[in-house]
Structure 1
Amino acid sequence: MTTEELEQLWKPEIDQHLSKIQNMKQDFSDVEIIIHNASWCPDCVRETSELLAIKQSLQDKAPQITLISYEDKDYYMSNKAELDINCVPTIIAKRNGQEYARIEENSNGKLLEQLSRY
């Protein structure tokens, strides 16, 4: 699944987040975010839709997002031990190629705060 497909699939959730994050001033244009995601995962809907809302809100100051999608749940569950993640969603934020934040499964409503740490 692509980022664009997720934006269509989760449009209501993204719109709900957008209504809460108007007038954002952050600049994440130097941030690369890798999202390990699955559309069948309820935690992914919550976390990834918020991240996609941040991306839409910031436009040219948004982070670069790379999506790694695990749409085949059986494949994911069978190969989970070999992956560099513990769960979906896993959101990895990098600056200058260095990981500075890793959010696994639930940001507890503090996704933006965790991405802004550095």
Structure 2
Amino acid sequence: MHKLLLIFLALALGGNSDKTKEISKTTTGTKIQTDMLIGEFEPEELKEEPYAGWFNSVYDDYTPEEKALQTIDENISDYEITVFMGTWCGDSKRETPKLLKILEETGYDMDKFTIIGVNHSKSTPGNMEEEFQVHRVPTIIFSKNGKEVNRFVEYAQQSLAKDIAKIVSGKDYSNSYAK
């Protein structure tokens, strides 16, 4: 009961922040990570603990396909990108580091990039997920002049780089959940 009270108190005191604070507990000797980034945050935060372990290994090991990267480089500057992801989500852990590597390698203007963390219910402060109709993560939304053009949802049709190349070059692309 004492531990539960401490957890509740920690959440209540941190409730004014867009990010939950680090809370970890031990169950039969195993540490369970229960913290996550919620709301808008800076991509660099993923390179810090407790996220660095999964983020940096995927980021460092990923090499985007050259042809797709060239197509992205030629076309992506026209787009604003909004990403909804969960620091707890396996699909987000797989795709988000790759996305950030693609953007870095193409010299994308990160002032046009927004990343938003969701909780396990895929909710955010201010319910931003409702405005963008986000039901799965990661969801990568590509917009021009404030209007959505297309989106990548959860997993690639071919590969992340090839899917993004199709989206930004205006080729026919539908995510796995498009009707």
TM-score, with length taken from structure 2: 0.53
Please tell me whether the aligned partners of residues 37 and 89 of structure 1 are also in contact (alpha carbons under 8 angstroms).
yes
Partner residue of 2:163?
Answer: 111
* Counterpart-to-counterpart distance in 2, 1:111 and 1:52: 15
CA apart distance, 1:111: 3.0
Task: Tell me which of the two structures has the higher relative contact order, counting C-alpha pairs closer than 8 angstroms and 6 or more residues apart.
Answer: 1
Q: For 1:73, what is the secondary structure of its paired residue?
A: coil
Q: Which has the larger radius of gyration?
A: 2
| Offset, 1:43 | 0.6
Please list every run of at least 4 consecutive aligned residues from structure 1 whose deviation after the TM superposition is greater than 4 angstroms. none
Map 1:27-106 onto structure 2 (within 5 A). Answer: 27=74, 28-59=76-107, 61-62=108-109, 64-70=112-118, 72-73=119-120, 76=123, 83=130, 84-106=133-155
Partner SS, residue 11 of structure 1: helix
In structure 2, relative to structure 1, the CA distance for the partners of 1:53 and 1:86 (3 Å cut) is: same
Q: How many residues align?
A: 111
What does the per-residue CA deviation read over 1:54-105, in whole Å, with 9 as the maximum and x for residues that have no partner?
111112x4562101111x32573xxx9x722111111100112221111111
How far apart are the structure 2 equivalents of 1:74 and 1:98? 26
Query: What residue is the counterpart of 1:4 in the other structure?
Result: 44
Query: Identity, % of aligned pairs?
Result: 28
Query: Gaps spanning 5+ residues in structure 1: where?
Result: none
Decide which of 11, 17, 20 is 2:64's aligned counterpart. 20
User: How far apart in 2 are the matches of 1:56 and 1:75?
Assistant: 27
TM-score scaled by length of structure 1: 0.76
Distance 1:102 1:56 in 2: 20
